[in-house]
A and B are shown apart, each in its own frame.
Chain A
Amino acid sequence: MHNALFIALSTLSAFVILFMVSTAISYLFLFLSSMRKVMREGKLEKRSILDDLSLKDRTYPVSILVPAYNEEVGVISTVRSLLTLDYPEYEIIVIDDGSKDETLAKLISAFHMRQVNHATRLTLPSQPIKGIYHSAAYPTVKVISKENGGKADALNCGINASIFPYFCAIDGDSILEQDALMKTMKPIIDSEEEVIAVGGSVRIANGITISRSQVETIDLPHKPIVIMQIIEYLRAFLIGRLGFSRFNQLLIVSGAFGLFNKGAVIHAGGYTEGLIGEDMELIVRLHRVNIENKLKKRIEYIPDPVCWTEAPETFSVLRKQRIRWQRGLAETLLAHKKMLFNPAYGAVGLLTFPYFLFVELLGSVVELIGFLIIIIGVFFDILNPVIVGTVFAVSILYGSFISSLAVLLEELTLHKYPKVRHLLVLFAWALTESLWYRPLLVLWRIEGLLNTFKKKADWGNMERKGISSSEG
């Protein structure tokens, strides 16, 4: 009996080791791919390029869509920060999705909104509009008050009301870099519209200081849980997304910031209601439509930070967020299961889709087994110490080592964190990832996986404190 258990655990360990090593190798491959692009683009002098882009009326006008549900804490500062964007022509559309708090009232008061009778085309289905407001003080600001229908529904409504050929979807609590639109429009201009969607790096705003709706100073927050999320974002954006983007395999553009060709999104059917991961689902569908119609379109990602967003500061809020994310991923993969291992969808179907299924979605199960093996090995004398040691080594490689590479990549190219202390802190916490943060994520991701079929989609807003501001 003991022998059978030993064989079973050893076999399982071998599987875990193989899985983790191959995943770590794929991360390293993505890291090297990202490195090339980041090194190449990082040395470009952005100021002269962006100045040139803005001078000659080379950009396309953009409608910025801000879906908001109970965002009374952050929505005003978000719109104010949008008003200071450095971009030739844009409109700001806040879509209040039937908020129960003072979101609409605060917007009306802050921007002197007046109700207008606006004939909106119903290009995409969405819940009925209760009222459309235009700002008397800022002609580019509009607010749509509509019946509650979820984030996807709100975005579809915003697309219907928008008047420009490109739209930028952002979260109600996002603070954009002043040149965010300019930077993200660049791949579209450079590719002569071959690029239909662009994502940029989303950074964590906890710890930064905002002055006049602009990022003034960048510092690290004190809470380890937030620092770990900063490292995690660096890893996800600078290694993962950038690496996939190089091969036109990007399956996620963050809901916190994404720039889209409106025509392409409408052609693909807009955002799908009732799903949690509507941002990822849209990107997967854009790929699908692209491949099915043999269009040579691209979805790009730029490494430059374009957007700052507030991260959860407590374990309970972070847990809820990760459960939602995992459910969103599961729902998207399920909705497009036809693409899995389907050669008709090229590399997306044969490589990227399986990667997201087995590594991003089901990887948590394998990781949990790995952690259990370590615990069993340490506390019960069932397993060979060599096996336990190997699992421990690969889990460090898988977690901490890759995360420290992300810190390296950030410092080599973007160096947004100005002090040596910042680096030391980030690096030191990155090393601890495998010991406490990653096991927690694994548990929450499994919880999310189990919850996939349980609940209906909702906004799932987290508790906002508002980003630190020197405006008072």
Chain B
Amino acid sequence: MKVDLAVICWIIAILAALQILLLVLLVWRKVRRNRLERKEQQRYAELLPEFISYLNGETELDMAKLKNDYQIAQRLASDIMSSTNDEEIQEKVRSTAYTALHKPYERALEDSSWPVRMNVLYYIQSFQMKEIAPLLQSKFNEMPVWDEEKKQMARTLASLGDISILPAVFSSIRHSQKFYRDVLLRFPRETDSQLSAYYEETDNPLYLCAYLQRIGDRESQDQITQVEEALASDFLEVRMQALKTIGNLYYMHSPDRLRPFFSSSQWQERMLVAQTVRKLNMHTFSDELGQLLGDAEWWVRYAAAESILEVEGAEKLKYYVENHPDSFARDMASQWLSTESKLDAYA
């Protein structure tokens, strides 16, 4: 320990000085930030009435003002977009946003900062800037790794209706079903026929599932034939998705196609068929539901009891409480009967 006391004093002094420096830096930053926020709020408040008046067709808008302050332009457009359902106004906001923002956005896509690029991807999607799609597409193709940015780029391109991303999205790299669904759901309705054509030509179960899910999410009953045919698929996940989609559509042509699922070796299929019967309010499968009430799997019993209550009524469930040969079935029926809020819903 051949250290001089003066050195220690110096170390303490340097530490103290560093702390003071840090404090000065923090205060300066805070003051500056608060001032900027106040100014931004003021500019926003000034421009908002002008912007609304322009959207209502009452006055012209000085586009230069928006272009000079693209952060405010972005905030105005975003706030209006999220607060109105008027398609005409939304379209006007979109075109104004494109005029004022496309150049800063194109620059931002090349920015070295990850959050800047990510933020812009969300805004491009929100303002539906289809004109930027080619630039996005080339950047998408250049990206080697499926990181957060590439996934967001896929979502943004899907929302702009760029069907060319499908082979890349549904390639050998396995993503979650949620991601596939997310991408497919974003495609606008105008792309339905192209998505359908891709469904017919591919045998990729990931795409098949996501496509069936989209039909359910969009409630496209006119595509029920494709869904019913999928009930005979070789892939378990495709059959399960077809059942879920039928449930979401509340409709099917040929209920007999459901019959094999009551005795499926997969409990998920048995549970889903019970749920489907409930959603479609089918009275033809009363015995099969009674059988599923005594299933070995808790979830199947749960779904079967719910279906019996909704389709057959509380009396049928009471009958099972007293007469079902399986004790677990009696317990489940009893649980559903005691859940008063649920009974009220089915009254």
Contacts and interface: CB of A to CB of B under 8 A. Distances in A.
Interface residues of B, number: 54
B118 A44 contact: yes
A118 B335 contact: yes
Contacts of A424: 23, 27
Given A56-B185, A408-B22, A411-B30, A386 B340 contact: no
B319 interface: no
A189 interface: yes
Q: Main SS of the interface on chain B?
A: helix
Contacts of A407: 26
A317 interface: no
A116 B217 contact: no
A296 interface: no
Interface string B141-168: 0000000100100000000000000000
Contacts of A396: 12, 15
Interface in A379-431: 384-387, 389-390, 392-393, 396-397, 400-401, 404-405, 407-408, 411-412, 415, 418, 420, 423-424, 427, 431
Nearest to B9: A389
B1 interface: yes
A412 B18 CA distance: 17
A117 interface: yes
B29 A411 contact: yes
B115 A48 contact: no
Contact of A58 (B25, B114, B116, B178): B178
Interface in B6-64: 8-9, 11-12, 15, 18-19, 22-23, 25-27, 29-31, 33-34
Interface in A146-192: 189-190, 192
Interface string B111-132: 0011110110011011000000
B180 to A, nearest CB: 10
A116 B344 CA distance: 13
Contact of B26 (A10, A44, A411): A411
Interface string B253-284: 00000000000000000000000000000000
Given A41-B115, A116-B340, A420-B30, A393 B331 contact: no
A-side interface size class: 35 or more
Contact of A389 (B12, B31, B126): B12
Contact of B82 (A40, A51, A116, A427): A51
A57 to B, nearest CB: 7
A10 B1 contact: yes
Nearest to B301: A119
A418 B25 CA distance: 16
A292 interface: no
Nearest to A123: B298
Given A393-B15, A404-B22, A415 B33 contact: yes
A378 interface: no
Contacts of B116: 43
Q: Main SS of the interface on chain A?
A: helix
Contacts of A193: 176, 178
Interface string A38-79: 001111110011011000111000000000000000000000
A45 B71 CA distance: 12
B6 to A, nearest CB: 9
A136 interface: yes
A48 B4 CA distance: 57
Contacts of B194: none
A291 interface: no
12 contacts: A49-B122, A56-B185, A114-B341, A116-B340, A192-B176, A393-B15, A411-B26, A412-B29, A415-B33, A418-B34, A420-B30, A431-B19
Interface of A: 10, 13-14, 40-45, 48-49, 51-52, 56-58, 114, 116-119, 121, 134-136, 139, 189-190, 192-193, 384-387, 389-390, 392-393, 396-397, 400-401, 404-405, 407-408, 411-412, 415, 418, 420, 423-424, 427, 431
Interface of B: 1, 3-5, 8-9, 11-12, 15, 18-19, 22-23, 25-27, 29-31, 33-34, 78, 82, 113-116, 118-119, 122-123, 125-126, 148, 151, 175-176, 178-179, 182, 185-186, 217, 298, 328, 331-332, 334-335, 337-341
